[in-house]
Amino acid sequence: MDAPYSNPDGDINNDAAIDVLDTQLAVNIFLGTETNATLIGRADTRLCNTGYITTQTIATCSNIFLVGWS
Ligand SMILES: [Ca+2]
């Protein structure tokens, strides 16, 4: 498994906040119900930078939202 991006931003919807909406978007992208290419690309570049969305991407987004990135 690839390591998470070293400095994830996590702001998938680009509203300058990391919150539950970003986590929900990560889940929807993982499930395939969110198909917006911009959101999918942003989720990858701002969370995992692996080229694909996994449960680790969702976990990273949740962690940023809940406890911040350290
Ligand atoms: Ca956001």
47 burial level (CB within 10 Å; 0-12, 13-18, 19+) = buried
Tell me the pTM: 0.81
How far apart are the CA of 23 and the centre of ligand 1, in A?
A: 9
pLDDT value for 5: 47
Number of Cβ within 10 Å of residue 10's Cβ equals: 24
- Ion ligand 1 contact residues with beta carbon within 5 A: 11, 13, 15, 17, 22
CA of 15 to the centre of ligand 1 (A): 5
Which residues, at least 6 apart from 36, have a Cβ–Cβ distance to it below 8 Å? none
Which sequence spans correspond to the domains of the chain? 20-67
HSE toward the beta carbon, residue 5, CA cutoff 13 A = 24
Report the pLDDT value the prediction gives residue 70, as an integer from 0 to 100: 54
* CA 52 to centroid of ligand 1, rounded, Å: 19
| pLDDT tens digits along 7-45 | 568 899 999 888 999 999 999 999 999 999 999 999 999
Q: What was the pLDDT predicted at 10?
A: 87
Predicted confidence at residue 8, as pLDDT, reads 65
Mean pLDDT of 46-56: 90
